Amino acid sequence: MFSGKTEELIRRLKRATYAKQKVEIFKPSIDKRYDETNVVSHNSNSIPSTPVETSANIFLLANDVDVVGIDEAQFFDIELVNVCTQLANKGIRVIVAGLDMDYLGNPFGPIPSLMAVAEYVTKVQAVCMRCGGLANNSHRISEEKSLVVLGETNNYEPLCRVCFYKATTK
């Protein structure tokens, strides 16, 4: 969290639209933190999107496009890997943003498998809120225990490996 994933996704998709490419953007319908339909970054940049329940809907709705963008991909089912592969095999550029690890530091949803089949992977880091180093972990600071908890600074803080280890092995 707070590493600029969505910001980078929006930047890449806007560049594609500037290049007159046909773009379709999807997000999981459960993500309504900033907007019901738009993909919105933490610093309020946004781009229109289509909320979908499952990854299969992405394949059904991505017609006559050059580029597909997918935000918060960790919240989709594992079928997202096949959907992205099928779209890429049709010549569609697929740009995915999502967390690779959950709040416990475990691989999160379809992201690790997507990273394995992707031609390019860009990992972005936040700044550790405790030491100022590069943060790869989303440490949950709220007491909620379910895997999916939508939130911001009220629920999570970015931490580096060492600070995450210290925080989770008390």
Q: Are residues 133 and 88 in the same domain?
A: no
Q: Are residues 39 and 78 in the same domain?
A: yes
Domain count, the chain: 2
Rounded to an integer, what distance in angstroms lies between the CA atom of residue 160 and that of residue 121?
Answer: 20
Rounded to an integer, what distance in angstroms lies between the CA atom of residue 3 and that of residue 79?
Answer: 26
* pLDDT at position 46: 73
* pLDDT at position 14: 92
User: What does the pLDDT average to over 147-167?
Assistant: 83
pTM: 0.88
pLDDT per residue as tens digits for the range 107-152:
999 999 999 999 999 999 999 999 999 999 999 988 877 777 666 6
* pLDDT at position 149: 67
* pLDDT at position 135: 96
Q: Name the helix (H) or strand (E) containing 101.
A: none
Q: Are residues 119 and 131 in the same domain?
A: no
Q: What is the maximum alpha-carbon separation in the chain?
A: 53
pLDDT per residue as tens digits for the range 12-54:
999 999 999 999 999 998 876 666 676 766 676 777 789 999 9
pLDDT per residue as tens digits for the range 62-116:
989 999 999 999 999 999 999 999 999 999 999 999 999 999 999 999 999 999 9
Q: Are residues 48 and 113 in the same domain?
A: yes
Rounded to an integer, what distance in angstroms lies between the CA atom of residue 81 and that of residue 166?
Answer: 33
Q: Are residues 120 and 52 in the same domain?
A: yes
Domain encompassing residue 136: 127-168
72 in catalytic set: yes
Q: Are residues 79 and 154 in the same domain?
A: no
* pLDDT at position 146: 76
CATH number of the domain bearing residue 59: 3.40.50.300
Q: Are residues 157 and 87 in the same domain?
A: no
Nearest to 26 by CA among 79, 64, 67: 67
155 pLDDT exceeds 90?
A: no
Catalytic choice (53, 72, 79, 119): 72
* pLDDT at position 143: 82
